[in-house]
Amino acid sequence: MTAAHLDRSFVATGGAADVLAAALGAGAPRDAARRLRDLAPALDLAEARAASRREGRGVVVATRDDAALAVRWFAPGVATVVHDHGSWGAAVVVDGGDRYERFTVVDGRAVLDTTFWLEPGDAVWWLDPPGDVHRQQAAEGGATELVLVAAPRRTAAELVAVDVPRPLAEAMLAAYRGRRFAPLREHYAEDVLVDVNVPSWRFQVVGRSALEELFDRDELGLPELRLRAFRAVPTIDGCVVEVEVRARRGAETVQWRDIHVLHVRDGKVAEHVTYCTGHWDAAAIAGQDAEAPMVRP
């Protein structure tokens, strides 16, 4: 796999070939992504970043017969088309912030599955087709990524994205992104039943005001809260929302995952059931990163 085959400029970068070899030698896509993340800070990517910014696309910094390593600068607020690479791969954000959207393919159309928000040092990976369909958009200020792409198993393609109106899911997303319940208020019945399931405990409250107090205090009230992943799946009477969140608790970073099952009756959420993992502390986060088997983000 050469730069010419990839139709990209080549920017010689010291150490890039070693990083590519180490990432490929790590094994599975998740392990390759983690290795790429750990080694990226050792590379001087200034020249490659500048070249990518000039050309408006990725530039190759290392190649092998079975893969290539590239640097890509993304302009702020400009989304890529929904596309695939025809192969598995991994990426790590070097600077800036990036929104990464993973799609599934249904009847030849790309349907949004999960959205991830990536910051410097965050890595993401994708699987062989059809698990490689995605779209990216940099936050304000742009973003630079170091990207590993395996040799294509088939020709990459641009796909048509299906935009499904999901007002309730969009309101839930706005609540997490804005760190307040307010965008959800109009979607809930005044007497909504709230069923909360946390490790070793379960309780219920009734009423939109009670839910708003719980949400703003316990779910969204920690400092430096950041939504890392969001997924919404429609159901016959509402939707299921999955989130992954990080925040600061005291002096350390904590992380948790929630499933919200929203049941709608007469146009309003009448029942909200939440299942929460509880807060994983810094040691648990590091342990998962090092040891937990993972197939996809």
For 218-243, the pLDDT digits (tens) are 999 999 999 999 999 999 999 999 99
Q: What is the pLDDT of residue 1?
A: 54
Alpha carbon separation from 145 to 69, 195, 236, 268 (Å, rounded):
10, 41, 39, 42
Please write the tens of the pLDDT for every residue from 18-75.
999 999 999 899 999 999 999 999 999 999 999 999 999 999 999 999 999 999 999 9
Contact 112, 101 (CB under 8 A): yes
Share above pLDDT 90 across residues of the chain, in percent, rounded to a whole number:
85
Q: Is 137 found in the same domain as 270?
A: no
> In degrees rounded to 5, what are phi and psi of residue 152?
-60, 140
Q: Is 96 found in the same domain as 8?
A: yes
Instruction: CATH number of the domain at 31, please.
Output: 2.60.120.10
Q: How confident is the model at residue 288 (pLDDT cuts 50, 70, 90)?
A: very high
Rounded Cα–Cα distance for residues 35 and 262 (Å): 38
Question: Please, where are the H alpha helices in 125-275?
Answer: 167-178, 208-214
Q: Is 172 found in the same domain as 155?
A: no
Q: Is 216 found in the same domain as 147?
A: no
pTM beyond 0.85, yes or no: yes
Encoded tokens for 119: 């910051």
Q: Is 244 found in the same domain as 278?
A: yes
Write out the DSSP string of 46-108. HHHHHHHHHHTS-EEEEEETTEEEEEEEE-BT-PPPSB--SS-EEEEEEEEEEEEEEEEEETT
Answer with the one of 163, 188, 209 that is the final residue of a domain: 163
